[in-house]
Structure 1
Amino acid sequence: MAKIVTEISDELKTFIAEQKIFFVGTAAEEGRVNVSPKGMDTLRVLSSNKVIWLNLTGSGNETAAHLLKKNRITIMFCAFEGKPMILRLYGTANIYHDRDKKYHEYIDLFPKIVGARQIIEFEVDTVQTSCGYAVPLMEFKEERGVLKSWAEKQGEERLKEYRKEKNSLSIDNFETGI
């Protein structure tokens, strides 16, 4: 049965820390709905109602574009190992870039990852758990190193150019703040 509360409990913080992947869902008033898988060591629970994650350079930047249009967001975690559970966090979010003070307040909470693009600060207003009985059991093998290797090969200057070219507009032509 689904349970809805207003805060992330200590038990749920532990569950979040154990997950290898999470999914971010956003949508503007018009255009496409976006769901992005996120991984690596890029998410931190700061309090019972605040989460941040380090958003890395990728092929698109839909999350940022949607948040600038309408800052609602959902993050979902699924237990692929152990006890079944689905956890959804609902709320609003702000985006911080290297040019922003808040980015620099948060960046040291993460390992240094070449290709860091933004930090998303998420104010959680609703927390929902559900059974997850239909989520398959899967064994974690290892993190993929492809994104990290690609970003390191590019270097910071080429990554800035890549972001200007590939990450400044969404697929619906919304600005991303890059």
Structure 2
Amino acid sequence: MAKRYDQLNTHQREFIARQRMFFTATAAPSGHVNVSPRGTDQFRVMTDNAVVYLDRTGSGNETAAHLRQLDRMTIMFCAVEGPPLILRLYGRGRIIARQTAEYAKLLAETFEGIEPLGARQMVWLDIDLVQTSCGYGVPIFDYVGERDQMDRWAEAKGPEGIEAYWREKNQVSLDGFPSGMFEGAEQAE
């Protein structure tokens, strides 16, 4: 049932393009494992072996904190409508900080220069294994629409409020690991 691939193929790219949600999984050498849901509107396939997503503010910043310690990362898509399929992308992840030239270049070239309010970083995954499995056990759901709470929350906070939130909630993981959220920001200013 499960099949392995060295890189993404056309069918898998098309499957990703139809999805509305994906999950990221990371873990430091110790502490808690993190699994986070994300919307696909800010997800991009860069090559057959690399993907990136624009990461918006969350209640924590586990992915960044974990990747600083151990760069293992898995991204999973699962069909909740249409034919069943689970697609996992295994590889090495890294954070691209907002204040870097790489972030600015990717934002301009890959995200049409559009940075949603509350975008805090990008997450890049170099893929070393693609795996598909049947997905027969995944329930079928109907897509109703996108939630607008994140946008409304960010608008209410404003840029200064969002930065204050990051400083309070996004600098360390549940287990106290630093996320690196503001590393180098002071030198860049």
The TM-score bracket by the shorter chain reads: over 0.9
Q: CA deviation at 1:120?
A: 0.7
Asked whether the 8 Å contact 2:22–2:40 carries over to 1, the reply is no
Q: 2:186: which partner in 1?
A: none
> Separation in 1 of the partners of 2:45 and 2:38?
15
Moved >2 Å (runs of 4+)? 108-112
For 1:166, the equivalent position in structure 2 comes to 169
User: How many residues are aligned here?
Assistant: 178
In structure 2, the residue matched to 1:6 is: 6
Q: What is the 5 A alignment of 1:60-75?
A: 60-75=60-75
Deviation at 1:86, TM superposition (A): 0.1
Secondary structure of 1:128 counterpart: strand
Report Cα offsets for 1:41-94 as digits up to 9, x if no partner.
Answer: 110001100100011011000000000010110000000010100000000011
Structural mapping, 1:112-151, within 5 Å:
112-151=115-154
Report Cα offsets for 1:101-129 as digits up to 9, x if no partner.
11111113234311000101110000000
Once the two structures are superposed, the pairs formed by residues 19-38 of structure 1 within 5 Å of their partners are: 19-38=19-38
Matching residue of 1:152: 155
Q: Structure 1: where are the runs of 5+ without partners?
A: none
**8 Å contact kept, 1:40–1:143:** no
User: 1:14 deviation in Å?
Assistant: 0.9
Give the TM-score normalised by the residue count of structure 1: 0.97
How many angstroms apart in 2 are the aligned matches of 1:124 and 1:23? 15
Shift of 1:143: 0.4
Instruction: Give the secondary structure class of the aligned counterpart of 1:83.
Output: coil
Contact 1:92 1:122 in 2 (8 A): yes
- The residue number in structure 2 matching 1:93 is 93
Question: TM-score normalised to the size of structure 2?
Answer: 0.92
Stretch moving more, 158-167 or 100-109:
100-109
Secondary structure in structure 1 of the residue aligned to 2:41: coil
User: Percent of aligned positions with the same letter in both sequences?
Assistant: 47
The amino acid across from 1:41 in the alignment is D
